């Protein structure tokens, strides 16, 4: 029986590097940011250690730092105290995201800006869509309806306002049916055919989003997101969602979260030839950070292992709160 002498290929670091199948590059990492109103503001987020709500001036400083480390793309989330039932603060010309994008584009060259397009950070009830039933008063947690098509109109307005501010990509994360098409249409009608769309295509209803909701103050006031985000028992459905987003005009598709969903990443990659992003979400980040702080795992080793595994599964791009620290390590 002939056999391959695999142990020889593992013998020293140089040879291991030579035959490694997966590489982690800074160019494939996207750093998420939370931007808030104010001046020289840097607010700690208890459940997201090392990540802050930054006012625009501090955001600019940090994005410059990221760029110097080789990070070429950032994802912007707006933190708004101004909220209403229809998320109108989300599409104001002088809204927080719109101002932040304008400033980044003015102050920093050669950086791609992606904006998250959703309602949940701007609605009083914290849901990603317009709640229509019951109309008013206290809503029993299991009895409310999200108006998908009304929400599409709002998402389209938000996306257009981000495009006008200069966003390179808009990234709808509301998981409404038809959201990519609604956005593609309004962008094209208004002369923004060059603005691209990153679809949060297969976004699961997940407990890994906890710290993010603290950061944004977007925890739903009643009910949960299971009526619009995906059921983690499903895989075929992820392919349907991704296929649909591609038909509707998505330029990049996404699987989210990443770690417990490597099989989904792998299947999507095998089925479609389109750039695939994975979102290494807030809960995944914070659990690792806390574990490392307690000395349960080696921080650097575990983060590199996790991100490399996400790439190995098939992700072309990774959105991760670790992006800056990893960029530093990869430089050394
Ligand atoms: C909002 C949105 C969420 C995330 C990205 N966009 C949270 C949610 O759906 O509740 C999660 C990101 C993270 O946890 O890092 N639609
Ligand atoms: Zn949302």
pLDDT in tens, 232-278: 999 999 999 999 999 999 999 999 999 999 999 999 999 999 999 99
Distance CA 73, CA 101 (A): 12
Distance CA 162, CA 102 (A): 9
How does the average pLDDT of the chain come out, rounded?
95
Query: What is the per-residue pLDDT across 25-70, written as a single tens digit (0 to 9) for each?
Result: 999 999 999 999 999 999 999 999 999 999 999 999 999 999 999 9
- What pLDDT, on the 0 to 100 scale, is given for residue 134? 58
In Å, how far are 68, 134, 141, 187, 227 from 73, measured between CA atoms? 12, 41, 38, 21, 31
Ligand 2: centre distance to CA 223 (Å): 14
Ligand 1 contact, 151 CB (< 6 A):
no
Categorize the per-residue pLDDT at 121 as very low, low, confident or very high, splitting at 50, 70 and 90.
Answer: very high
Ligand number, closest to the Cα atom of 259: 1
For ligand 1, atom 14: residue with the closest CA = 209
Ligand 2: centre distance to CA 260 (Å): 20
Distance CA 264, CA 255 (A): 7
Indicate whether 185 pLDDT > 90. Answer: yes
Mutate to test the pocket of ligand 1, among 32, 209, 220 (most ligand atoms within 8 A of CB): 209
Ligand number, closest to the Cα atom of 130: 2
- The closest alpha carbon to 312, from 268, 280, 265, 279, belongs to 265
Ligand 1 contact, 118 CB (< 6 A):
yes
- What pLDDT, on the 0 to 100 scale, is given for residue 181? 98
Ligand 1 atom nearest to CA at 203: 9
- What pLDDT, on the 0 to 100 scale, is given for residue 142? 57
Per the annotation, the verdict on 39 as an active-site residue is no
Indicate whether 137 pLDDT > 70. Answer: no
pTM: 0.96
Ligand 2: centre distance to CA 330 (Å): 32
For ligand 1, atom 2: residue with the closest CA = 173
For ligand 1, atom 10: residue with the closest CA = 209
CA angle 34–258–311, rounded 5-degree value: 105
Ligand 1 contact, 213 CB (< 6 A):
yes
Ligand number, closest to the Cα atom of 209: 1
Per the annotation, the verdict on 256 as an active-site residue is yes
Ligand 1 contact, 209 CB (< 6 A):
yes
Return residues with CB closer than 5 A to ligand 2 (ion): 118, 120, 128
- What pLDDT, on the 0 to 100 scale, is given for residue 221? 84
Ligand 1 contact, 52 CB (< 6 A):
no
Please identify which of the residues 83, 157, 181, 203 carries the catalytic annotation: 203
- What pLDDT, on the 0 to 100 scale, is given for residue 176? 97
Q: Percentage of the chain surpassing pLDDT 70?
A: 96
Q: Strands 42-44 and 52-55: what pairing?
A: antiparallel
What phi and psi values does residue 152 have, to the nearest 5 degrees?
-60, -40
Categorize the per-residue pLDDT at 141 as very low, low, confident or very high, splitting at 50, 70 and 90.
Answer: low
Ligand 1 contact, 307 CB (< 6 A):
no
Residues 6 or more apart in contact with residue 315 via CB below 8 angstroms: 255, 258, 265, 269, 276, 277, 278
- What pLDDT, on the 0 to 100 scale, is given for residue 133? 67
Ligand 2: centre distance to CA 129 (Å): 7
Categorize the per-residue pLDDT at 5 as very low, low, confident or very high, splitting at 50, 70 and 90.
Answer: confident
Distance CA 241, CA 22 (A): 27
């Amino acid at each position: 029986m002939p056999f391959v002498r695999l142990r020889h290929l593992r013998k020293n670091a140089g040879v291991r590097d030579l035959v490694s199948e997966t590489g982690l590059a800074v160019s494939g990492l996207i750093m998420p940011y939370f931007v808030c109103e104010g001046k020289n503001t840097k607010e700690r987020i208890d459940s997201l250690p090392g990540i802050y709500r930054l006012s625009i001036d501090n955001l600019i400083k940090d994005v410059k730092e990221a760029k110097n480390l080789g990070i070429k793309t950032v994802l912007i989330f707006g933190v708004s105290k101004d909220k209403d039932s229809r998320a109108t603060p989300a599409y104001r010309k002088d809204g927080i995201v719109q101002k932040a994008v304008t400033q980044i584009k003015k102050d920093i060259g050669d950086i791609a800006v992606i904006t998250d397009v959703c309602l949940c950070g701007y609605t009083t009830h914290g849901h990603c869509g317009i709640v229509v039933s019951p109309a008013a008063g206290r809503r029993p947690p299991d009895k409310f309806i999200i108006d998908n098509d009304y929400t599409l109109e709002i998402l389209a307005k938000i996306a257009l306002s981000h495009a006008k501010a200069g966003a390179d990509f808009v990234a709808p994360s509301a998981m409404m049916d038809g959201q990519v098409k609604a956005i593609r249409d309004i962008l094209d009608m208004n002369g923004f055919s060059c603005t691209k769309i990153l679809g949060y295509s297969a976004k699961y209803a997940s407990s890994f989003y906890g710290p993010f909701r603290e950061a944004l103050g977007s925890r739903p006031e009643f009910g949960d997101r299971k009526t619009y985000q995906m059921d983690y028992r499903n895989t075929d459905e992820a392919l349907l969602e991704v296929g649909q987003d591609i038909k509707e005009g998505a330029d990049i598709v996404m699987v989210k979260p990443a770690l417990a969903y490597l099989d989904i990443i792998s299947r999507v990659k095998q089925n479609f030839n389109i750039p695939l992003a994975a979102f290494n979400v807030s809960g995944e980040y914070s659990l690792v950070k806390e574990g490392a702080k307690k000395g349960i795992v080696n921080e650097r080793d575990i983060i590199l292992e996790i991100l490399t595994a996400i790439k190995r599964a098939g992700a072309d791009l990774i959105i991760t709160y670790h992006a800056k620290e990893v960029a530093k390590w990869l430089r050394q």
